[in-house]
Homo-oligomer: A and B are copies of this chain.
Amino acid sequence: MRVFTTVDQRIAEQTIGRLSLYRRLLDTLMRDCVEHVYSHQLAEKTGFTSAQVRRDLMAVDTAGNTRRGYDVGELTRAIDDYLYAPSGQQVAVVGIGNLGRALLTFFSGRRPKLSVVAGFDVDEQVVDRVIHGCRVYHMDEVDRVVAEDEITLAMLAVPSEAAQPAADVCIAAGVSGILNFAPVRLKVPPSVYVSHVDLTMYLEMVAFFARQTDGDKGD
């Protein structure tokens, strides 16, 4: 039905986020051997509206059938093509404390196009160990390993005060995307994309809104 996909003008971050969610859902549909899916079904399972789903899917090169909805296999391919680099992207975890380990565990083999291939730390106790199938290197080796393994993304799970220096080292080595878990705002050049996962902020938001829906005690 779609004729041609034109140059994607400024896609909204929200749309990319939702596409990622649809993509995950499609995996479970595939596993259940579902062949077609309607926008309202995706909507129901994700909590968005069907119009929202269709609007989001306009960004990817797909064509729903007006009678059967979307072909699960084809939609999967379309989102993959849109969302992922053809050859995949390599990721490093910087800071192998509890959080770093959790990230290694969590992402191990989760998305084939995004593989966590290295960990970095300064603590001699973890350097050179293999954690969850992932070799941990000393921070001194960021430059070499990032180049050799063609790492383009880094997840920062280091203490606040170490975050900016760690980011600088990663960027100098060629990393162009950072997922920062440290509670500080990073200064980076405009060619680097940073997303900040602020756990304290999330918890405080939940605390606030939980009180609102609650018995509304106090203020």
Q: Which residue numbers of A lie inside 8 Å of B, CB to CB?
A: 13, 16-17, 20-21, 23-24, 45-47, 81-87, 89, 91, 97-99, 101-103, 105-107, 110-111, 114, 152-153, 155, 157, 176-179, 183, 185, 190-195, 197-214, 217-219
Which B residues are in CB contact (< 8 Å) with A218?
85-87
Q: Are A200 and B24 in contact (CB under 8 A)?
A: yes
Of B102, B177, B183, which is within 8 A of A206 by CB? B177
Q: Are B177 and A207 in contact (CB under 8 A)?
A: yes
Q: Are A99 and B106 in contact (CB under 8 A)?
A: yes
Smallest beta-carbon distance A157→chain B, Å = 8
Smallest beta-carbon distance A111→chain B, Å = 7
Q: Are B111 and A200 in contact (CB under 8 A)?
A: yes
A47 vs B185: C-alpha distance when bound (angstroms): 8
Known contacts A106-B99, A153-B207, A204-B16; is A193 also within 8 Å of B212 by CB?
A: yes
Q: Are B197 and A210 in contact (CB under 8 A)?
A: no
Q: Are B206 and A153 in contact (CB under 8 A)?
A: yes
Q: Are B106 and A102 in contact (CB under 8 A)?
A: no
